[in-house]
Structure 1
Amino acid sequence: MHDQTIGGYLERLAAREPAPGGGAAAALHAAQGAALLGMVARYTTGEKYGSHADEIERITLAADELRARALQLAEDDTQAFGAVADAYGLPRADDAQKALRSQAIALALAGAARPPAEVVAAAAAVVGLAEALLPIANPSVVTDIAAATEAARAAATTARVNVEINLAGIRDEADRADLAATTAEVDVIASRAEAVTAAVRRQIAR
């Protein structure tokens, strides 16, 4: 993911291959949202914004860290989904092989659910940074804050379905409950993102 061209990534996404898929796309939505906030923060510097310099620096650093983390999650998701495909490909000629295959699938599904669950957390963090940045941002680039929160909303809602598709096959009840709790946060994240976008629209309509 780090070294691909955008065109090359989209070719892989469109191919008849199990990965990258929706989980990687969700992570890249979050990465784009974080990148947009980093850009807005970098335009909110200089004497005019001096009283907010510390907060802008914090947001810039946090956005850069989130961008890197989300990109890594795209790679993690691709690898995790590959492990699921490998597990389904295990032999099942007898009861022993079937049992091993079933256990491997359950473990792989749990592993595949974790990157999108972490994407939900990353999306929430992007929205949180947007909420902090909007009141102090350079007004010339506030529409990019809305773009960032919409990307974060897409990341969260897309990641949610990629967690949910794996839940039924996860045997560990604690894992399943923890992952389900993560998906329960998505509607709140989406509502917060919508509120930021609405605030931006009100600002630019003045």
Structure 2
Amino acid sequence: MTGLFVSFEGVDGVGKTTQVERLRAYLQERGRAVLVTREPGGTPLGTALRQLLLYNVASDAADIAPRAEALIFAADRAQHVAETIRPALERGEVVITDRYLDSSLAYQAGGRELTAAEIRNLSMWATDSLLPKRTYLLDMDPAASHARLQHAEDRMESAGNDFQHRTRQAFLDLATAEPDRFRVIDANQSINDVWEQIRTDIDTLLQGGAQ
């Protein structure tokens, strides 16, 4: 049994965590070993970097330069792949990650306005070119998705409407550029309707029928 790598993407508040947990339970009920992880923060090192990046642990964290921010995310991703993702895939597990390199492309290249080529090259080097077999992009207008948030905003969530809209568009552009990997799902639908689209696709993927 070979491993399968799946990622979930989208702006904050679209329901990624809910669908990740549904997919975990669905696969485990069918006898698959499943590892659920996230970025940033999928390793002990990543947890420390997550605090720095998202929650202003350092007094000047809000002023992290865009290139420095991109490098910190890449460092988290390099450790994540080496310590968590690749070993699980080699064991034949299904790895489900809440965010991966597409978030860097959308948030740093779209939101922060660094070039996509710079961010992609950095992320591909950090991961030794590891990409998910499937990426589910849960899409929703950021104004609507942020209204769902039930916690204080982190650095990314509080970056402003223009930033969030650039990020959403960057996600959609990524999906257009890689239609074989991405599945774009309207997150305005009910939780069950979103899940049914994911379930149908994952069944096809596990049966070897998806491209």
TM class by shorter chain equals under 0.3
In proportion to residue count, which structure has more helix?
1
TM-score normalised by length of structure 1: 0.24
TM-score calculated relative to the size of structure 2 = 0.23
